[in-house]
Amino acid sequence: MLNTAEIGRTVSKADYKRELPELRTRLLETQRALRAAGLSVLVVIEGMDGSGRAEVANRLQEWLDPRGIQTHTFWDPSDEENERPWFWRFWRVLPGAGQISLFLGGWYRDILTDGVHKQIKPKELDTRLAPVLH
């Protein structure tokens, strides 16, 4: 299984091309093992607009078994979402046993952006941050 991620590591194009087939195989085997164990995985792909989030999701969908992946994007909340707890829009699409969900965007950016741009009151910001911080 995947235990760690090395941040800031770079790979040359030649090494990438050489290692890619084995890495793709290992990724697919990991997906199968997760499914067999009934474990769910949530991948939150964050970044600024134009940073390549969709490309990352497309690559993962290409490399993995698409029957076990669902991709979700989160735009402005719908009227129904605004009537419910703020995290409800994320809770309702969490992956089931043996499934993988890709979230293009998540709760961190929305919370911080809304707070920085004063689109929500400080008390609402605290309410949204509380579940994330605990």
Which CATH number belongs to the domain containing residue 97 in this structure? 3.40.50.300
> CA-to-CA distance for 127 and 120, rounded, in angstroms?
11
Q: pLDDT in tens for each of the 134 residues of the chain?
A: 556 677 788 889 999 999 999 999 999 999 999 999 999 999 998 877 788 889 999 999 999 999 999 999 988 889 999 899 878 899 999 999 999 999 998 776 667 677 767 777 888 878 877 776 66
What are the start-end ranges of the H helices in the chain?
13-37, 53-63, 79-82, 88-91, 107-116, 122-133
The answer to the question of residue 7 being in a domain is no
In a domain, 119, yes or no: yes
pLDDT at 98: 96
Residue 8 lies inside a defined structural domain of this protein = no
Integer distance in angstroms from the first to the last C-alpha of the chain?
26
**d(Cα 85, Cα 104) in Å, to the nearest integer?**
20
| pTM of the predicted structure, to 2 decimals | 0.74
Q: How many structural domains compose the chain?
A: 1
Is residue 4 in a domain? no
- pLDDT given for residue 76 in this prediction: 84
The domain in which residue 44 lies consists of: 13-133
**Residue 41 resides in a domain:** yes
Residue 7 has a pLDDT of 78
Residue 5 lies in a domain: no
**Rounded Cα–Cα distance for residues 130 and 133 (Å):** 5
Residue 13, pLDDT score? 94
Question: For residue 6, is it within any domain?
Answer: no
